[in-house]
Amino acid sequence: MVLENNSTHHQAILDIGSNSFHFVVYQIEKDKSFSVVLRKRIVYRLALQKKNGKSFLSEEDYIQAEKIILELNEIAKSFSCTITATATSAVRESTNVKEFLSYIKQNTGLQVEVISGEREAMLIYKAILYSDADALFKNILCFDIGGGSTEFIVGSKGKIVFIESLKLGAVRLSSSFFPSGELDDVKINLCRDAITKEVSAASGKLVSHKVDFVTGNSGTIHAVKNLAIANAVSLAIGTPNPIVLTREELDKVVELLLTKKSIEERKSLPGIELDRADVLPAGALILQIIFHELKLSELHLSDYSIREGKLLEVLEGYES
């Protein structure tokens, strides 16, 4: 593809996750820099059903995914652009993934790329390198907590030196331990134990890598930070830095979330995203255990993630 030197254009990226369809339209400048012109997140959780212990995409998933994508196609048309789409753990782990992708292609025209956890991590790191001019000179640990999986990436001087993808996600654990959205101490402890087992195994591999900067981007991380800011006075955490999440803030937010046993109670919390009220406790527990197992004191929040990584990959295909 050729990008005219004197023109701008638009590109749409769709990330089909376990918790939502996240759609972004970017304006691309002639130097290939970009900015967000539209962001739309549609919460729909795919592949929640299981048969013989394995997840599958239901007839309702087919119908809803088609409906959502056709709606997003119309938005993309209004910007005279195409959609590049990826799908992560919910789709890739489904037993009928090939049939689902074929159905979506036939009924919407959209070719969806199903990516592995390791490829997710690579795209995230690509985005980090773009977003931070100093990233090439840092030893960076980045993690991303999704609906179905959590990715760890260590990058050193622009190269990935460690990748790990764990089957830990806010939706996955909520379905396993808190299917009704109701919390109780027994299930909370079981959930903690399951997370700790997975994270401690990963942290054992991480210890050999020097890290001098920790960053993260996911809905869970931003949602926890938003709660820390909105409840700073009642939690006695001073004036939070909007782009840094501290261990103190995290621990206090987790404690606050876990005292609200029902979804309705959590929805009453200042600063909470209503459509995350059911799955945020599990996601926050993942984040807290990562902090404790890796002995982190803080992380820097990033606005760049898999979507920007995929956009950069698309732009690399343009001739300028």
For 232, residues 6+ apart whose C-beta sits below 8 A from its C-beta are: 238, 239, 240
The pLDDT score that the predictor gives to residue 318 is 57
The pLDDT tens digits along the chain (320 residues) read 344 445 789 999 999 999 999 999 999 999 999 999 999 999 999 988 888 889 999 999 999 999 999 999 999 999 999 999 999 999 999 999 999 999 999 999 999 999 998 999 899 999 999 988 788 888 999 999 999 999 999 999 889 999 999 999 999 999 999 999 999 999 999 999 999 999 999 998 988 898 999 999 889 999 999 999 999 999 999 888 999 999 999 999 999 999 999 999 999 999 999 999 999 999 999 999 999 999 999 999 998 999 999 999 999 985 43
Classify 116 as helix, strand or coil: coil
For the whole model, what pTM was predicted? Answer: 0.90
Between CA 313 and CA 311 the distance in angstroms is 5
At residue 97, what is the residue type?
V
The pLDDT score that the predictor gives to residue 24 is 98
Between CA 141 and CA 210 the distance in angstroms is 9
Which stretches does DSSP call E strand in 58-137?
83-87, 112-114
The pair of structure tokens assigned to 270 is: 């200042």
Phi, psi of 25 (to 5 degrees): -110, 125
Task: Calculate the alpha carbon distances from 178 to 51, 105, 264, 279, 286 in Å.
Answer: 19, 34, 14, 8, 14
What structural domains does the chain harbor? 9-117+306-315 (3.30.420.40), 133-301 (3.30.420.150)
Between CA 152 and CA 145 the distance in angstroms is 9
Nearest to 273 by CA among 239, 199, 222: 222
Ramachandran quadrant class, 271 (left: phi over 0; alpha: psi -120 to 50; beta: rest): left
Element (H, E) at 55: strand 54-56
